[in-house]
Amino acid sequence: MSPFVNTYLTPNATAVKFAIKTTLAMMLALYVALWFDLERPYWALMSAAFLQVRPMSGMVIEKGICQLSGTVIGAVAGIVIMALFVQARIPALIVLTAWIMLCTYVGSLWRNNYTYGCLMAAVTAMLIVVISSGSTPAGIFDIAVARLSELGLGAVCAMLVSSLLWPSHVGTHLATQADSVINEAFEHAALRLEASNDIPAMQKALRSSLAPLTLLETDSQAARFEGPVGPGRVRATHVLTRRTLRFFANLQALHQLMYDHADRLDPQSIELACRGAQGFREAEHVKGVAKARKALQVLRHQVHESDHENSIAPLDQRLRLGLRESIGHALVMLDAREAIASPGRHKLRSSPLAWHRDHLAASINAIRSGLLFALLATFWIVTAWNSAMIAMMLGTLFSAFFASRENPVAITMMFYKGMLAAIPSAFLFGHVLLSQANGFPMLAMLFGTPLFLGLLGATNPATMGYCLAFAIFNILLTMPGNGMDFTFDSFANRVVAVVIGLTCVVMAFRLLPGPGARLRRRRLIKAISQDIDGLRRRSIRDAETRFSGHMADRLLQLAQHDDMLPEDQRHLFILGLTGLDLGTAMLRLRDRLDDALHPLIRRTHQDLLQTLANGFAESANGRPPQGIREAGKQLEAAIETYGDIPADRLVLMKGLVERLELALERLARIMAERPKIKSMHKAPSAPVLKK
């Protein structure tokens, strides 16, 4: 059944509540704007609509603060530009273009509502400079105050309605995402410990866990605005992210041992891993954290009992230790889930993560936004057409807003279709019928109808782009206010302006699409290699923070790149997990040996870390690693001579080095034997606009 049929014939309660809340927030903003006779009340409606896209109270407050902050910064920038070039329109537009590029660049480096703040800084400055062109200094200041008042009013109304009417909280959303992360991670664990060769199934489970994990880490910052327990949820989210990544790294190592080197392992170790797979499946399917924890504790007890056997080879010891560590990580993940749901009863400590930022992609986004605005500004100057301001505003807004999305062209086309559907609706409701309205109740009933219908479909990711655009362009094409112009020529001018503006956005993304799949893949591989090499230079805490944060995002991107390849050419998934496993192992070695007393141990330890980092870089390019075994033997000899590490620890370290060498040799074979990729393109499925 079509998503539109589902949305409008069988709407769920969440969709209806969202549409009612957002429509009420917009009507409240419109009423107050009309009461105070603001110049452009429709900006208050737009502000309320954008803030309610994700209606959790903490997110609305965070986004509102970012919007107001960005508006203030943009207003100051606009005033400064006009103060310097009030009589020189061309230099003012050149400086404004540079400001828009800067805001787009900075916004592209963020993953949360700070991006929206940067966007509002660009749009507000653009509105002040363009609208106040030719105005007096006092008029420029009045325009800036008017824009601040309109956008601020919409933000206040959205936050008020979100808090009072059917309030939903970030904490509940985070707990739901944490459940998805843990369930999919346990499914991935079961496949790994069974030594499965079903790579697509493992990749699907991994991606299904990493996607909500990335969203969870981004959204958790909004929990700070939901009372004193909010920071506890944020810390618990950081713990869940770190432990989940370590969990995946251990599983990658265990799977590689059992799948490629089963002949070198004791059959009892293989059987123990299979029991572990069954234990994780049981923990996944039980209801409640307490039952899942009990299932994992039983599994951990079984693994501990098997450790009393004598004469176990180093690889077997490493396998069993890895299984114990995986269970330990899983138990901490469950603790983090409880702390997210009930931060008052369960308190965890953790530092924030550092996320991967692609400066090349941000630069391309900035150049695209600058060129698009310059084109539309030139069109405005040449034609002296007042409605061209609408096209300039749309170009600035959507070129930056869609730049960080996975498929901006497809998403822009969704908005384009929603805009086309809004044209007859805005003409009927916003001009033919609204021209006969008398009083605000009739205005709200007529104008609110298309807004409510559009917002009703905005909760479904499959229809969100069309429906949100339908609501937004009904506002822009109607432009409600105390002195509305109902003539057909003004409506036609607005229609032409929005068509030109959105068409230019589509063409900008097509002509300057950003880094290609091959380039992004190479940059991701290079970034992973650099992070692994940097693990030995920073403090352990800083290195772990940066590595964990970067790898979550990069693993998700590598998994998405693998989806674009034929089944027999998928290798990036394995490369990313090998890098995660190697980085985690290097951090473990540093934790054990960084404080060694003898300088020879410290020097051979650093040599081993350097050799491992070089080995990953070589393996990622299809060349076998060199010198790992020799570096491991030198460290082992130094420890035996000058160290006081117990014998069992030394055996485990020897098994770790041997396992890492095998993992890198396997990665080198995969990268060397992979088929040459002639095209990274695949027919895209219907895009989904993230809310």
Q: Are 616 and 582 in contact (CB under 8 A)?
A: yes
pLDDT exceeding 90 applies to what percent of the chain? 26
Separation of alpha carbons 57 and 62, rounded Å: 9
Q: Check if the beta carbon of residue 615 is closer than 8 Å to that of residue 665.
A: no
Please indicate whether residue 68 or residue 53 has the higher confidence score (pLDDT).
68
**What Rg value do the Cα atoms of the chain yield, rounded?**
29
Residue 687: the pLDDT is 44
Measured distance CA(314)–CA(673) in Å, rounded = 30
Instruction: Give the dihedral of Cα atoms 634, 667, 271, 275; nearest 10 deg.
Output: 110
User: Counting every residue, how long is the chain?
Assistant: 691
Tokens of 548: 């964990």
| Residue 276 confidence (pLDDT) | 86
pLDDT digits (tens, 9 = 90+) for 258-303: 887 788 888 888 888 888 888 888 887 777 778 888 888 888 887 7
Q: By the 8 A CB rule, do 322 and 328 touch?
A: no
**Measured distance CA(34)–CA(21) in Å, rounded:** 20
Report the share of the chain in percent with pLDDT over 70: 93
How many whole angstroms separate alpha carbon 525 and alpha carbon 670? Answer: 15
CB-based burial, 615-654: b 16+ in 10 Å, e otherwise: bbbbbbeeeebebbeebbebbbebbeeebebeeeebbbbb
Please give the average per-residue pLDDT across 650-655, as a whole number: 80
Alpha-helical segments (H) within 307-349: 314-341
With 0-12 / 13-18 / 19 or more C-beta atoms within 10 angstroms meaning exposed / middle / buried, residue 381 is middle
Average per-residue pLDDT in the chain? 84
Tell me the CB-side half-sphere exposure of residue 86, using CA atoms within 13 A.
10
Q: Return d(Cα 89, Cα 130) in angstroms, integer.
A: 9
Angle (CA) 399-401-407 rounded to 5° is 80
Are 543 and 530 a contacting pair, CB within 8 Å?
no
H-assigned helices in 89-169: 89-108, 114-131, 137-164
In this model, does residue 352 exceed pLDDT 80? no
Integer Cα distance of 362 and 104 in angstroms = 7
Nearest CA to 52 out of 60, 62, 64 is that of 60
Nearest to 246 by CA among 152, 136, 322, 172: 322
Most confident by average pLDDT, 224-233, 513-522, 563-572? 224-233
DSSP classification of residue 505: H
Average pLDDT over residues 455-484: 89
DSSP character at residue 691 = -
Tens-digit pLDDT profile for residues 292-336: 888 888 888 877 776 655 567 777 887 888 888 899 999 999 999
Average pLDDT of span 216-220: 83
For residue 172, give both structure tokens: 């509940």
At residue 562 the predicted structure's pLDDT band, cuts being 50, 70 and 90, is low
Residue 528 identity: I
pLDDT for 93 equals 94
Out of 220-234, 423-437, 551-565, least confident range: 551-565
578-593 pLDDT, tens digit each: 888 888 888 888 888 8
What is the rounded distance in angstroms from the CA atom of residue 240 to the CA atom of residue 243? 5
Is the torsion defined by CA of 103, 109, 113, 114 positive or negative? Answer: negative
* Residue 573 in this model has a pLDDT that exceeds 60: yes
Task: At 498, list the tokens.
Answer: 């929005």
pLDDT band at 561 (very low <50, low <70, confident <90, very high): low
Residue type, 560: Q
**CA pair distance 166, 18, nearest whole angstrom:** 9
Question: What's the CA gap between 28 and 26, in Å, rounded?
Answer: 5
- Residue 165 CA: distances (Å) to CA of 60, 160, 471: 13, 8, 21
> What does the pLDDT look like over 226-238, one tens digit per residue?
888 888 888 898 8
List, as one string, the DSSP characters of 420-474. Answer: HHHHHHHHIIIIIIGGG--SHHHHHHHHHHHHHHHHHTTTSTTTHHHHHHHHHHH
- Determine the straight-line distance between the first and last CA of the chain, rounded to whole angstroms: 22
CA–CA distance, 248 with 206 (Å, rounded to integer)? 8
What confidence score (pLDDT) does residue 556 get? 66
Stretch 682-686: mean pLDDT, rounded?
39
- Cα–Cα dist 393/373, whole Å: 9
User: How far, in Å, CA of 392 to CA of 376, rounded?
Assistant: 6
Angle formed by the axes of helices 440-456 and 13-35, nearest 10°: 140
Structure confidence at residue 27 as a pLDDT band (50, 70, 90) = very high
Helix (H) or strand (E) holding 24: helix 13-35
Look at residue 682 and tell me whether its pLDDT is greater than 80.
no
- pLDDT confidence tier of residue 686, bands split at 50, 70 and 90: very low
